[in-house]
Amino acid sequence: RNMGRLSGTNSDNGVAPDAKNLRVKLVLLGDSGVGKSCIVLRFVRGQFDPTSKVTVGASFLSQTVALQDSTTVKFEIWDTAGQERYAALAPLYYRGAAVAVVVYDITSPESFAKAQYWVKELQKHGSPDIVMALVGNKADLQEKREVAVQDGLDQAEKNGMLFMETSAKTADNINQLFEILRII
Ligand code: GDP
């Protein structure tokens, strides 16, 4: 695991980075209601809160969590649904993010189309070496599926992203998603 870039030391200089000082900023993007907050809460607290409200307008969630291997992760969700009036804040949000997770809802083609917008935003504002994942959430709602797995895969491959389908409700693939933190 190469931690040099994140800890600010050069991994080639032989100095082992101190895992205890590893801080990772992870941003989640995607339309309101796709389940970003639920994904983070499921991972961080092992809970699913079905009363979690759909975000209207802008909201911001920032949660810093110490993982078992002493990595500290700052999860940030900037939920503006891509509203133009927040565009000026975008560079702040993306700055220093090592990981970006773009979420859509597999029952919502609109949210999948919007994922493309968020990927473009990342390419514009994100660090060139940011690790990106495309995530199709609400995979428990198979009978309501409107976005094919293959479409998600194709989109991810086209943009050099990891791909996964998750369910914050059943916890399916949630831990696997955050394994991404081990490859940066
Ligand atoms: P956010 O706006 O992207 O942060 O979305 P939320 O996390 O607030 O979730 C929006 C709604 O989707 C809530 O009513 C959740 O209960 C529901 N939800 C989130 N994840 C899942 C999931 O994996 N499966 C199902 N069935 N519902 C989910």
Q: Which atom from ligand 1 is nearest to the alpha carbon of 55? A: 2
ipTM of the predicted structure? 0.99
| CA 71 / ligand 1 centre spacing (Å) | 27
Strands 131-137 and 99-105: parallel
pLDDT of the residue at 32: 85
**pLDDT, averaged in runs of 10, over the chain (184 residues):** 36 45 82 89 79 55 76 76 69 86 97 94 91 97 98 97 97 92 75
What is the whole-number distance in angstroms between the Cα of residue 52 and the centre of ligand 1?
Answer: 7
How many alpha carbons fall within 13 Å on the CB side of residue 145?
Answer: 16
Q: How far apart are CA 152 and CA 143, in angstroms?
A: 17
76 contacts 89 by C-beta, under 8 angstroms: no
Is residue 35 within 6 Å of ligand 1 at its C-beta? yes
Ligand 1 centroid distance, CA of 153 (Å): 21
Residue 33 Cβ inside 6 Å of ligand 1? The answer reads yes
Instruction: Assign residue 95 a region (left: φ > 0; alpha: ψ between -120 and 50; beta: otherwise).
Output: beta
Q: Which residue CA neighbors atom 26 of ligand 1 most closely?
A: 138
Give the span between the Cα atoms of 167 and 144, in whole angstroms. Answer: 14
The model's pTM is 0.83
Output the CA 160–ligand 1 centroid distance in Å: 26
Cα of 140 to ligand 1 centre, how many Å?
11
Q: Measure the CA–CA gap between 80 and 82, rounded to whole angstroms.
A: 5
Using a 6 Å cutoff on CB, does residue 66 contact ligand 1?
no
Output the pLDDT for position 84: 66
pLDDT in the model for residue 7 = 36
